[in-house]
Chain A
Amino acid sequence: MPGAIFRPFRHSEAERSDRSAGDRLRHRQKVRESIRENIADIVAEESIIGKSRDKIIKVPIRGVREYRFVYGDNAPGVGQGEGETEPGQVVGKGQQEGQGADKAGDKPGQDFYETDVTLEELVEIMFEDLELPDLERRALRKIPAERMFKRKGYRQVGIRIRLDKRRTARERVRRILATKRGRGPAPPPEEGAPEPEKRRQPFHTEDLTYRHVVTDVRNESNAVVMCIMDTSGSMDTMKKYLARSYFFLLYQFISTKYRSVELVFIAHHTEAREVTEDEFFHKAESGGTFISSGYVKALEIIEERYHPSLWNVYVFHCSDGDNFDSDNPAALRTARQLADVANLFGYGEIKPLGSRYYESSMLNLFRRLDADNFQTVVIERKEDIWPSFRAFLSKDRAKVADAGAAAPA
């Protein structure tokens, strides 16, 4: 038997290529596509409104499974016990929870896996194929925000982390060339003389070049999202759940546009109160509905804390449309006032499937409100949330497009 050949480890990166890079990239693309396709489910399932942007969300990936003909649940398997295994003993869990049991690898459940994305990535994916309208921002509403850093030229002094290696190396070369030129051409080496040792050319302190960074004071606009929800007896958990998804999208969308976004939660039945997020979604109340009470409260809060000259105000109201008739004129009047001060004002009517035709609706009433920045949407089930949210923004976009068409003239 001839001797084995040993090939030593190749240290240089150049010799060892990262050959799976292209395939990994393509796989990640497919994961992203899969997330985008399932975005409506994810938004509806997750309790993510108002959460930190670094929060990690588990997203089930369906699009990147590799399908084959495989056996299903009624295929028995064989395992090894630790002795004394008896019939009837439970040895593992099925794959219902996405938790692959430590079992035969031919079970497809193991291919079903979840990936972790941060909320920020998720939002980025959500909005990337959505041509978002430029939100209207008035010059008046800008206030300075000192958060950004900006590069501004280069200096000889600085901290280590900002050392610009490329420029430093260039400085050194430049200095070496300059000194050579000063000395004139080198004398030709004598015949037979030993090769002169190469002179070391170390870096000098004056070669070091650092990037200079200054604080960037920029005028930033702030925004407030006012979530108003009907918490009367007729709003059941399902309706609240749909409302919550909608508020989430709105909040995330506004957050991509502004540096700081504040949230205000107003719950109303016949009276309105400002509440915390937790109370907003989880506390059940009873009683009838005066929609105008919520709007009045919102107007009060805007007056007190978020004056429209400093703040971009976004108001969204979710209700099942079951208002007392006597309140309708007041509701319309206050809605008109809100539309005047807000950048965008939306009304979402939540009608779980089937209830649309026999319950009263505010849509007819709000049809009379013809402000440009007012929008109504109907949400029947969770699959509607994402399309109706897109429609909500696209109406705004149409308006911008109209304005754009008119402006250049």
Chain B
Amino acid sequence: MPDFEIAELERWDERIREKADAFGLDVYQQEFEICDHNDMIGYMAYSGMPSHYPHWSYGKSYEKLKTLYDYGVSGLPYEMVINSSPALAYLMRDNSLCLHILTIAHVYGHNDFFKNNYNFRQTRAEFTLGSFKAHAQRVRSYIEDPSIGYERVESILDAAHALSLEMRRNRAVRKLTQAEERERLFAAAQPRPDPFYKIHRPPEYHPPDLRRVPAAPEEDLLLFIAEHNPYLADWERDLLTIVHEESCYFLPQIETKIMNEGWASYWHREILNSLELPSELHLEFLVRHNQVVRPHPGGLNPYHLGLKVWDEIKRTHDEPTDEELRERGPRSGSGRDAMFDARSADRDASFLRRHLSESLMRELDLFQYEQRNEDYVVTKVADRESWRDVKETLLKSVGTGTIPVIKITDADYSGNRTLYLVHDHDGRDLLLEYAERTLQHLHRLWGREVALETFINAKKTLLTYSDQGFANKALK
């Protein structure tokens, strides 16, 4: 891209920032890097990180993106922005001026979201790039260490990636230490003070099992293994920690996909509408904007859904219908204030639960589908009887709702260091083939038998993986 165009982008950026300031967006310092489509695919494969440790799965992701792009199956995103301070975003140099303007405005929306949403508090944006780089250097140093080498590092990374998202969902809540958990357990087991103890039979005392590890069911699988498997080498422990830390970084983005994209789309629309673009730019903007936020029939476009809900929040505050006034009474504060509150305090599940109304669901024509034999069949639509069910299903399939909750309950099951895990079954079965291979990875890391309790076709089942391989038996 010639330099005069950079100057032009800077001029537009100036104007966009003025508007963003006026609207009250609160952003990190922003950096834009101009790249071509190959760089873009590369950045996408490594989740936008300028520096990342090597693993074949990123090569696979690159090949897939490149093939889809080369054959015109899917285009590339116009931008990519990562949650760091300063926020780093990539612009594709082949894009038109209008697209650049739209993208810059969109990026400021994400930037504001990253800085202000509570889910991102734990990610320490100022250290993002540095910590990813440090991880990469450590992994490379293990690969280059002649006593370790590529293959052993890869095998640990393979296993760690399989479990990387099995972690505590709400990172904003402090995790109790084992000692604190034990205190809690002990306190809970003590009999309540009873004012009528003289006439009551003394309650039976059940001593708590304070020797059990973990004291309370543990969700951070990788961390637990790193701490409690004594046979892991230091470098193996470190790899598990690295993978866990990267998951902690990505978790908020998984949790807020719909909100975040809707928020950025809302603001690029508002900003560009207020910029008084020349008509040819404005027309192109309308076309591009509609491409981005159009509904995907049969699927769900997070940009579309998110934008619709944000618009709905503003409308119900600023211009509620008579019916809504009757039902909920007048809302306090302006629509914008309510939007900024939701942007700070919500995640996708709570956002949709609070703000996706029955009428909006009907307008969007949301439906629930299930697999019947070889077809996906619509089972429920958002009508008066079943819109709540459809909504519940939707809430379960956004954010981390798509990841089964699996907890370690005992690290010394039946006294032979078997790792016992329980799946919190919510009506959705695990896919057995995948569970088997994932347990194999877990077994690789734990070094002893692993057992997972779950329900398969409404029957309580224990899936185990030991040195003899996979086994699957029904439990009473």
Additional A-B contacts beyond A4-B17, A76-B393, A78-B393 (5; CB < 8 A) = A67-B438, A72-B431, A79-B299, A87-B380, A91-B378
Contacts of B27 in A (CB 8 A): 1
- The chain A residue with its CB closest to the CB of B166 is A69
Task: Contacts A2-B29, A9-B93, A71-B402 given; indicate if A96 touches B374 (C-beta within 8 A).
Answer: yes
B54–A7 CB distance below 8 A: no
Contacts of A83 in B (CB 8 A): 365
B429–A74 CB distance below 8 A: yes
Q: Mark A89-123, 1 if CB is under 8 A from B, else 0.
A: 11111101000011110101000010000000000
B42–A19 CB distance below 8 A: yes
B17–A3 CB distance below 8 A: yes
A179 interfacial by beta-carbon distance below 8 Å: no
Which of A24-32, A152-160, A363-371 forms contacts with chain B? Answer: A24-32
Query: In the bound complex, how far is the Cα of B455 from the Cα of A71, in angstroms?
Result: 12
Contacts of B39 in A (CB 8 A): 16
Q: Mark B98-111, 1 if CB is under 8 A from A, else 0.
A: 00000010000000
B353 interfacial by beta-carbon distance below 8 Å: no
Query: In the bound complex, how far is the Cα of B377 from the Cα of A66, in angstroms?
Result: 28
A184 interfacial by beta-carbon distance below 8 Å: no
Query: Mostly helix, strand, loop or mixed at chain B's interface?
Result: mixed
B54–A85 CB distance below 8 A: no
User: Which of A20, A72, A90 sits near B62, CB closer than 8 Å?
Assistant: A20
Task: Contacts A24-B59, A26-B59, A72-B429 given; indicate if A66 touches B161 (C-beta within 8 A).
Answer: yes
Which of B194-202, B260-268, B290-298, B310-318 forms contacts with chain A? Answer: B290-298
Contacts of A9 in B (CB 8 A): 1, 34-36, 93
B185 interfacial by beta-carbon distance below 8 Å: no
B379–A71 CB distance below 8 A: no
In the complex, the 4 A-B pairs of residues with the closest C-beta atoms, listed nearest first: A23-B59, A27-B59, A72-B431, A67-B437
Q: Mark B431-473, 1 if CB is under 8 A from A, else 0.
A: 1101101100100000000000000000000000000000000
A72–B430 CB distance below 8 A: yes
B428–A4 CB distance below 8 A: no
Contacts of B42 in A (CB 8 A): 18-20
User: How many residues belonging to B are interface residues under a CB distance threshold of 8 Å?
Assistant: 89
A/B interface sample: 16 pairs, CB < 8 A = A7-B31, A8-B34, A18-B42, A23-B57, A23-B58, A68-B162, A68-B403, A71-B428, A77-B376, A79-B299, A84-B365, A87-B379, A91-B298, A91-B369, A94-B376, A106-B402
Which residues 334-380 in A have Cβ within 8 Å of B in the complex?
Answer: none
B17–A80 CB distance below 8 A: no
B428–A103 CB distance below 8 A: no
B342 interfacial by beta-carbon distance below 8 Å: no
- A67 to B: closest C-beta gap in Å: 4
A71–B429 CB distance below 8 A: yes
- A125 to B: closest C-beta gap in Å: 18
A70 interfacial by beta-carbon distance below 8 Å: yes
Most buried by A among B393, B402, B437: B402
